[in-house]
Amino acid sequence: MCETCGCGQPDNFTIRMPGEELTDDHNRDHDHEHHHEHEHDDDHKHGDRHKHHHEHEEDHPHGHSYEQSSPTPRMIDISKDILSENNLTAERNRGFFEGRSIICLNLVSAPGSGKTTILEKTINERAKEREIFVIEGDQQSMNDAERIKKTGVPVVQINTGAGCHLDARMVNSAIKRLELSRNSVLFIENVGNLVCPALFDLGETKRVVVMSVTEGEDKPEKYPYMFASSHLCIINKTDLLPYVDFNVEKAMEYARRTNPDLEIILMSAKTGEGMQLWYEWIDKNQ
Ligand SMILES: Nc1nc2c(ncn2[C@@H]2O[C@H](COP(=O)(O)OP(=O)(O)O)[C@@H](O)[C@H]2O)c(=O)[nH]1
Ligand SMILES: [Mg+2]
């Protein structure tokens, strides 16, 4: 049980390819050493490459950080040992990608902002020119892996169970199931959540945060760590702008206030607006 961030049991993840039966012996990751018993420490700096700092409520009950009945908002304290272990594995993943000139893009967002749709369209339009591989992350179900499988590219699904983010070790296990080729693109669709995935470096080349115009323009203000740690922000579903109160200028201003270096692409995965800019962005980061 991950006691510090309330993610449930991130060690009990499963990795499956579409069509593969789930068997306890082959798919569940059992033999992980737990490093969750640690002392709290007043030094909140950790080895995360994005250097997020959190205020810590000293008297928070250990266990679930999200208590729905709690009248006061709680910040999440992720312990140094979990993150530094994660960072070591992330660096191994990064070295693996660099050694093969693979660009690995970690797509993060709230649920439903359009990550899988963007991937489907990208694969349909680009897989002839570039070899593409996909790792799908969700708490449960093979739905997104099945959607990607229909496009014809290799895909594995990680189910995190109660966990609310992917971590570097899950990705390390998943890439062993994919025979990644040199100069390919590996997309990782993270669990839909704008909080915890911000803290877990997967070894990706770049992080891409997707927000959609139906979510409200203040997401970067509410979830600054995610926007601060991303390289590109896709504002998706622009085809819906006539029907929603979403101020694009304000959204961009909030995002850049959190991260002045953040690149931004306005996109509609439905109409194709912005897709060309997205492909050019991927190519320039190879
Ligand atoms: N109107 C519109 N709907 C979209 C767009 N992109 C995705 N959607 C829809 O948004 C819903 C969630 O998309 P999905 O790709 O599953 O989001 P994910 O949870 O981030 O992977 C689906 O019903 C999509 O058809 C878009 O650009 N415009
Ligand atoms: Mg999805």
Domain ranges of the chain: 84-284
The ligand whose atoms approach the alpha carbon of 145 most closely is 2
* Paired strand residues for 265: 234
C-alpha 185 chain-centroid distance: 16
Residue 28 confidence (pLDDT): 57
Please tell me the predicted confidence (pLDDT) of residue 43. Answer: 40
Instruction: Give pLDDT, residue 62.
Output: 40
pLDDT (0 to 100) of residue 77: 57
Residue closest via CA to ligand 1's atom 23 equals 112
Give residue 218's identity as a one-letter amino acid code: D
Q: What is the pLDDT of residue 48?
A: 42
Quickly count: other Cβ atoms within 10 Å of residue 173's Cβ: 18
Q: Which two tokens stand for residue 127?
A: 């897989």
Ligand closest to Cα of 109 equals 1
Q: Cβ(22)–Cβ(158) under 8 Å?
A: no
Give the residue from 118, 67, 132, 65 showing the smallest Cα distance to 236.
Answer: 118
**pLDDT value of position 149:** 98
Instruction: Note the pLDDT of residue 279.
Output: 98
Cα 92 from Cα 98, distance rounded (Å) = 10
Q: Are 76 and 6 in contact (CB under 8 A)?
A: yes
C-alpha of residue 114 to centroid of ligand 1, in Å: 4
Ligand 2 mean position to 60 CA, how many Å?
33
Domain 84-284 has CATH 3.90.226.10: no
- Rounded to whole angstroms, the Cα distance separating 170 from 200 reads 11
* pLDDT at position 102: 98
Ligand 2: centre distance to CA 242 (Å): 24
Residue 159: both structure tokens together: 């189910």
Task: Supply the pLDDT for residue 35.
Answer: 42
Per-residue pLDDT in tens (0 to 9) along the chain, 286 residues: 344 455 645 567 899 999 988 776 545 554 444 444 443 444 433 334 444 444 443 344 343 343 444 445 555 555 677 889 999 999 999 999 999 999 999 999 999 999 999 999 999 999 999 999 999 999 999 999 999 999 999 999 999 998 999 999 999 999 999 999 999 999 999 999 999 999 999 999 999 999 999 999 999 999 999 999 999 999 999 999 999 999 999 999 999 999 999 999 999 999 999 999 999 999 999 8
